Structure 1
């Protein structure tokens, strides 16, 4: 780990997850000379078609070149940078019609927190899904985000089940899905994604239970440092699970 940039490895791992997803679904990925990643998943969701710069000070020229390589963009897309975007990056984004800024806390749970406790919700089962269950998984993710199912159709691609280090989870009560999650292992880092609870089952601790079960599943497999990007509203939930906010990501999208 670079001691002068302790979060750099985490953000690089985050970019690599998007790269793996896009490689499996469309094959449309590129890397810039300074490490920025362009990853086009094919989803009708801006955040899943992205240029992600892991650099503390992103290169505007690098981002511009990657953006130009896809022009004209036929899908909603986004630019992800660490911290507060510089004026040149902001101007570049605006020139492509990207003017909406969303701040997402990067939260990390370090191994010295130890193995988390079991969720304590005996009626809830959190299990990995097989490739032939990805339709069910994608539909549950959409329901959890209260979004149209077609937006998450990309998650039904059977090739996703073959991605090394990526596991998709369903949370169920008596066999009925109530939530989802996903882990993506990169080196000794585990990223958590797609943590949802269906609207009718919220405020019962299921989201926390899904998070704890996914951490437990990877803690002893060589990837004990866990990270996620939370909403600012979700920050306290993950703090209670041992995560700490280390910096912020800005996702720039169209209005």
Structure 2
């Protein structure tokens, strides 16, 4: 009954749909419990991209534990993700699998009527890319996040470009790649992901411009609300575009 009074549930479900698409296009390993909890394994060496995710305000510890048992045997870094502050039962399940590092990430939402969006300035060009350009996309994203290419090699998989709800964006200044973004449109929602800017091109408004272009394109596709899970660095940028924090996501991972 509590789920009937959970206005953020459609947004969190949209996020799990993104997990579904990523896993399906890469490893093909995805499972959703009848109550919505998902197991999504992308195969990437990133804990948040191989996860058990509950979209429920009160996650079922037994369901989470059962799905955790499936992903723990893959040998990949992985995580358990739940909404809000995790309760004792979920914390114990995570600890049972050695997931004792806890991080929280704000869910930021841009509602209709949040104001005008800025347009790219100067020579910046933001364009969607096809499957044969996902290699440069993945390289730019990895450099923007400061990690080896193999961490995000899955984003060079041409099959991702064929997913109906995904659009990948490359930002270029004078023809040189400087940043990335990814949109995931589900019904009236557009999810904003993979916003990265190369270190030498930061503090020029590029991250804001990429995000604004994704929102604008999402609006054109019928999405009236935008959402994202923000890094600490990105929060002020997204707030300047009308996003507001409405919830947090708690992730359990193995200690570094």
List per-residue Cα deviations over 1:215-243 (Å, max 9, x = no partner): 11111221121000002342222111011
Partner of 2:193: 193
Between the aligned partners of 1:116 and 1:201, the Cα distance in structure 2 is: 21
- Size of the alignment, in residue pairs? 253
Where do residues 205-216 of structure 1 align in structure 2 (5 Å cutoff)?
A: 205-216=205-216
Distance 1:3 1:199 in 2: 44
The 5-angstrom pairing of residues 146-157 of structure 1 reads 146-157=146-157
Per-residue CA deviation, residues 120-164 of structure 1 (Å, 9 max, x unaligned), is x13100000111001100011100000000111111111001001
Cα deviations by residue, 1:80-115 (Å, 9 ceiling, x for unpaired):
100001111011101111111111110001122255
Instruction: Report the Cα distance in structure 2 between the residues aligned to 1:253 and 1:70, rounded to whole angstroms.
Output: 12
Structure 1 gaps of 5+ residues are none
Aligned 8 A contact 2:15 2:191 in 1:
yes
- 3-state SS of paired residue (2:5): coil
The SS at the match of 1:112 is coil
Aligned to 1:28: 29
- Is residue 71–residue 78 contact of structure 2 (8 Å, CA) maintained in 1? no
Partner of 2:68: 67
Equivalent residue number for residue 140 of structure 2: 140
- SS of the counterpart of 2:94? helix
Unmatched 5+ stretches in structure 2: none
Offset, 1:71: 4.1
TM-score, reference length from structure 2 = 0.96
- C-alpha RMSD over aligned residues: 1.2
